[in-house]
Amino acid sequence: MREILDIQKKLLPDLMDIMKKRYSILHHILVSGVVGRRTLASSLDMTERVLRGEVDFLKEQGLLESDASGMKISESGRQLLEDMLPIIKIAFGLTDLEESIAKAYGLSQVIVVPGDTDTSVFTKKELGRAGAAALRKYVAKGDIIAVTGGSTMAQIANNLTISSSMKGNWFVPARGGLGESVDMQANTIASIMAKKTGGKYRLLHVPDHLGEEAYQTLIQDPQIQEVVDAVRSCRIVVHGIGDAMVMARRRKVDADTTRSLQSDGALAEAFGYYFDRQGNVVHKMPTVGLRLEDLQRTEVVIGVAGGKSKGEAIASVLRHGQEDVLVTDEAAAIEIMKHV
C-alpha cells in the first residue's frame, strides 16, 4: 500500500497534491452538508475559478451533486471518502504519527485526523466522526459505556448512528455533575448517545460542592447507588481531555483550589482528575462516579481530544498510563510527540 504510493510519486510527482486537493474539497463538502462555490473557495483558500474546475470534474465523476441551493456530496462520493481515509493518512504522514504515539505511550490504537481543532471547526467535526467510529469499533452487545462531558464528546454524540451492535447498551455519565453548561454535561452527552444509537441511559444527579453529610446521605440513596455501581462496572470509557487551568476556570473552582492546582503543577484534566506533567494525579473533583482504580478493570479506555494547545495536556494523561485508545488531531499529535 505504501509502496504503491511511493512508486506513483516517482512517476507522477504531483499526484499526491491533486489527490489531497480533491480529497479536501470533497471532505469539506461532506462536513458542510450543502455549501456554495464561493463559500467553499474562501474556506479552502482557493480561487473561485480553480475550485470550479475541480467541482466540475468531481460532478462529472458523480462524486457530488449540485442544484440551485448549492453542492452536496453524493452517495458514491461519501463512500469514496471513506475508502480513501487510509490512503490520505499515508499521504499526509499521519500513519507515522499514529504508530509512534502508540509505541511511545503503550496504546493499542491511535487515530489521528488531519488538521487542528484549535483553528478549524471542521477538524473538530472530523474528530467527532473519528471518535464515534472508534467507539463503534470497540463496543459489543450489552456493554456499559461511561462518558464524560465537553464539546468534543458532544461532537462524538452527534456522529453516532443507530446500529444493531449498540442497541440495548447502557450509556452512563462517568462522574456526577461537574458544573458545566447543560449541553456539554456528561449527563446530556450520555442521553444523546443513547438516543442516537438506540441504547438506554441512566443519569447521575449529584450536584457539586455538597457538604460532607449531605454527600454521605446522597450516596446512600439506592437509586444513585445503582447508577454508581453501573458506572464502576463499565466495560468502556470514552472521555475528553482538557487543559487543567481552562477546566478549573470553566467549572468555577474557588481561588484556593486554583492556587493549589497551580502550585502542584496541574496540567491536564480528565474525568474529574487533575494530572501533572509526569502523569501523577494532583487533585480530584469532589463528586461520585468512576474512580481511577475502576479504570484498571475497564477493558477499553478511549481518550478523545485535539488541538495544538491541548497537546501537552494529552501527553500527561497518556503518561498516567490508563489509556488504551487515543483519538486526536494532527496538531495535537505533533505536540504529543514533543513530550515523550
Partner DNA sequence: CCAGTGATGGACGTTTTATGTCCCGGGTAT
Partner DNA sequence: ATACCCGGGACATAAAACGTCCATCACTGG
Q: Which does 162 bind (CB under 5 to 8 A by kind): DNA, a second copy, none?
A: DNA
Distance (Å, whole) CA 312 – CA 243: 9
- Shortest separation between residue 154's beta carbon and a second copy, angstroms: 16
Q: Which does 5 bind (CB under 5 to 8 A by kind): a second copy, DNA, none?
A: a second copy
Residue 5 sits in the site that holds a second copy (CB under 8 A) = yes
- Pick the binder of a second copy from 27, 89, 124, 125 (CB under 8 A): 125
CB 123 within 8 A of CB 332: no
Q: Which does 292 bind (CB under 5 to 8 A by kind): DNA, a second copy, none?
A: none
- Shortest separation between residue 40's beta carbon and a second copy, angstroms: 17
Helices vs. strands in the chain: H and E counts, helices first: 16, 13
User: Quick one: 132 or 227, whose CB is closer to a second copy?
Assistant: 132
- Pick the binder of a second copy from 45, 60, 213, 256 (CB under 8 A): 60
Residue 4 sits in the site that holds a second copy (CB under 8 A) = yes
Residue 46 sits in the site that holds a second copy (CB under 8 A) = no
> What dihedral do alpha carbons 128, 132, 137, 141 form, nearest 10°?
160
- Shortest separation between residue 215's beta carbon and a second copy, angstroms: 42
Distance (Å, whole) CA 105 – CA 108: 9
Helix 75-92 / helix 2-11 crossing angle, nearest 10 deg: 80
How many angstroms separate the Cα of 108 from the Cα of each of 94, 130, 314?
Answer: 16, 16, 16
How many angstroms separate the Cα of 113 from the Cα of each of 117, 121, 131, 203, 337?
Answer: 10, 13, 10, 31, 15
Q: Which does 36 bind (CB under 5 to 8 A by kind): a second copy, DNA, none?
A: DNA
Helix 121-138 / helix 15-32 crossing angle, nearest 10 deg: 90
Task: Concatenate the DSSP letters of all residues of 249-269 into one string.
Answer: HHTT--HHHHHHHHHTTEEEE
Spell out the residues 6+ positions from residue 218 whose beta carbon is closer than 8 angstroms to its own.
206, 210, 224, 288
Spell out the residues 6+ positions from residue 56 whose beta carbon is closer than 8 angstroms to its own.
none
Residue 23 sits in the site that holds a second copy (CB under 8 A) = yes
Which three three-digit cell numbers place residue 141? 452487545
Q: Is the dihedral of CA 296, 108, 120, 156 positive or negative?
A: negative
Residue 246 sits in the site that holds a second copy (CB under 8 A) = no
User: Quick one: 2 or 338, whose CB is closer to a second copy?
Assistant: 2
Residue 13 sits in the site that holds a second copy (CB under 8 A) = yes
CA angle 140, 141, 143 (to 5 degrees): 75
Residue 19 sits in the site that holds a second copy (CB under 8 A) = yes
Distance (Å, whole) CA 131 – CA 124: 10
Interface with DNA (CB under 7 A)? 35-39, 47-50, 52-53, 59, 66-71, 162-164
- Pick the binder of a second copy from 31, 44, 46, 84 (CB under 8 A): 84
Residue 15 sits in the site that holds a second copy (CB under 8 A) = yes
Write the DSSP symbol of residue 174.
S
Phi, psi (degrees; rounded to nearest 5) at 144? -100, 130
Provide the β-strand partners of residue 65. Answer: 72
Contacting range for a second copy; rule: CB under 8 A; set: 28-36, 125-133, 225-233, 268-276? 125-133
- Pick the binder of a second copy from 1, 68, 182, 255 (CB under 8 A): 1
Contacting range for a second copy; rule: CB under 8 A; set: 2-10, 31-39, 140-148, 244-252? 2-10
Contacting range for a second copy; rule: CB under 8 A; set: 81-89, 168-176, 229-237, 318-326? 81-89
Q: Which does 60 bind (CB under 5 to 8 A by kind): DNA, a second copy, none?
A: a second copy
Binding site for a second copy (CB under 8 A): 1, 3-5, 7-8, 10-13, 15, 18-19, 22-23, 59-63, 76, 80, 83-84, 87, 122, 125, 129, 133, 159, 161
